[in-house]
Amino acid sequence: MSVIQRNTRTIDLSAIENNMKAIRSSVPDSAKLIAVVKADGYGHGAVETALAAIKGGADMLAVAAVSEGVQLREKGIRVPVLVLGAVTASDVQEGAEYGLIQTVCSPEMVFLCEQAGEFLQKQTEVHLKIDTGMGRIGVRNEMERDAVLAALEDCPHVRLTGAFTHFSDADGDEDGIEFTECQYRQFLKLTEPLPESVLRHCCNSAAIHRFPEMALDIVRAGISLYGYPPVHTETALKPCMTWTAVISYIKDLPAGSYVSYGRTYRSDHPVRTATITCGYADGYFRACAKDGYVLIRGKRAKIIGRVCMDQMMADISDIDDARTGDEVVLLGKSGSESIDAEEIASWAGTISYEILCSSGSRVGRKYISHQ
């Protein structure tokens, strides 16, 4: 007898690989491809996602922090890894030691890399971050850029191999399109004096699909790698994650019964309820209670009452064959029905990225592949 785990996210590695291949086929052959595996691979598992992406054609990887890059290196991954966050004194040496490409946007950051490189007697690769309108990190103008370039000339243990910016509204409306085009022109202007050997990149997932002419030397595939392109695209991409729980208890309640904290739900008719082994401590959004559904035996079941820390309840009055121990699909497919991260995000008032990254430490993770 197979036992369904209490709470599991199943990751289809073949879908990740195929998504990478599809993205690869949609960008110019001359452009390299970065798979963004930060935030534990957007909740899919950084190492496993990275290996599948490399198999699908990724030339490089990107992470948010040095610690994430170290994790990849310690698992034997040797392709170039870019740390997207700005270099800091606390981890610059570890980044240099593990051969990570670090991000600089001030002379002080360059000097930090030089100190680490001199101590280790090795050269550190860096990419220059340029702020063209995101307002986060990066040099903003010629003066700030030239200050960094001057610092690089004085630092023999630091080698500039790339420059990049990040589009803030590439998935936006007409104004967003216009702003993205302005960002692109500013990026070209600020990178014009850089040597030809310096790789330039600006396209995130939205821009990969919407502005293929902006591919330049590298593109960065983030959310699209996981099957959720932020804009319409003809590129064939498939969600890679399924999230399941289990029915732990079933009861019949008379009309007028309350369910869960705060008595926010009161039945106006007899209702059959299922208690489900997932709550907000597992990463399911409490805000989904008002509009959310789960899938049981190929049918939608409405979440009723507030989502608890460890459990939630659903109305299964119309699912006569539901039983204790049945699988509950929170994210994914059951029969002809499906719930994706975009739909859950609409219930919670957030974005699909946050849904994918939300699972707690007690949610099991299982990997499958069809190739």
Query: Are 276 and 261 within 8 A, CB to CB?
Result: no
Q: Which residue is catalytic, options 21, 98, 261, 367?
A: 261
Residues of the chain with pLDDT > 70, as a percent, come to: 99
Task: Tell me: do 208 and 87 sit in the same domain.
Answer: yes
pLDDT band at 370 (very low <50, low <70, confident <90, very high): confident
Task: Tell me: do 250 and 335 sit in the same domain.
Answer: yes
Residue entry with tokens 């050269």: 123
Query: Are 164 and 200 within 8 A, CB to CB?
Result: yes
Residue entry with tokens 């007898």: 1
| CB neighbourhood size of 163 (10 A) | 25
Task: Tell me: do 166 and 27 sit in the same domain.
Answer: yes
Task: Tell me: do 26 and 169 sit in the same domain.
Answer: yes
pLDDT in tens, 222-278: 999 999 999 999 999 999 999 999 999 999 999 999 999 999 999 999 999 999 999
In the residue annotation, 55 being an active-site residue is answered as: no
Average pLDDT, the chain: 96
Question: Does 170 map to a domain?
Answer: yes
Task: Tell me: do 290 and 168 sit in the same domain.
Answer: no
How far apart, in whole angstroms, are the C-alpha atoms of residue 22 and residue 225? 9
In the residue annotation, 261 being an active-site residue is answered as: yes
Task: Tell me: do 45 and 113 sit in the same domain.
Answer: yes
> Measuring CA to CA, how many Å separate 222 from each of 82, 161, 227, 229, 350?
13, 21, 10, 9, 17
**Domain span holding position 269:** 241-368
pLDDT band at 4 (very low <50, low <70, confident <90, very high): low
pTM of the model: 0.94
Question: Does 313 map to a domain?
Answer: yes
Token pair in block for residue 270: 């007899």
Give mean pLDDT, residues 294-315.
98
- Supply φ then ψ for residue 110, to 5 degrees: -60, -45
How far apart, in whole angstroms, are the C-alpha atoms of residue 80 and residue 71? 13
Question: Does 232 map to a domain?
Answer: no
pLDDT the model gives residue 150: 98
Question: Does 207 map to a domain?
Answer: yes
- At residue 55, the 3 state secondary structure works out as helix
Task: Tell me: do 130 and 259 sit in the same domain.
Answer: no
Give mean pLDDT, residues 145-170.
98
- Residue 191 pLDDT greater than 50, yes or no: yes
Give mean pLDDT, residues 11-37.
97
How far apart, in whole angstroms, are the C-alpha atoms of residue 276 and residue 137? 43
> Which residue among 166, 195, 226 closes a domain?
226
Task: Tell me: do 251 and 188 sit in the same domain.
Answer: no
C-alpha torsion 63→64→68→69, nearest 10? 50
Task: Tell me: do 39 and 161 sit in the same domain.
Answer: yes
Task: Tell me: do 309 and 209 sit in the same domain.
Answer: no
Question: Does 259 map to a domain?
Answer: yes
Task: Tell me: do 219 and 252 sit in the same domain.
Answer: no
Query: Are 50 and 72 within 8 A, CB to CB?
Result: yes
Task: Tell me: do 302 and 158 sit in the same domain.
Answer: no
- Residue 3 pLDDT greater than 70, yes or no: no
Total domains in the chain come to 2
Q: Which residue is catalytic, options 32, 38, 129, 353?
A: 38
pLDDT in tens, 56-88: 999 999 999 999 999 999 999 999 999 999 999
Helix (H) or strand (E) holding 209: helix 205-210
> Which residue among 193, 226, 259 closes a domain?
226
CATH of the domain at 351: 2.40.37.10
Query: Are 158 and 114 within 8 A, CB to CB?
Result: yes
pLDDT in tens, 161-178: 999 999 999 999 999 999
Q: Are strands 327-334 and 293-296 parallel, antiparallel or unpaired?
A: antiparallel
CATH of the domain at 111: 3.20.20.10
pLDDT the model gives residue 122: 95
> Which residue among 200, 226, 252 closes a domain?
226
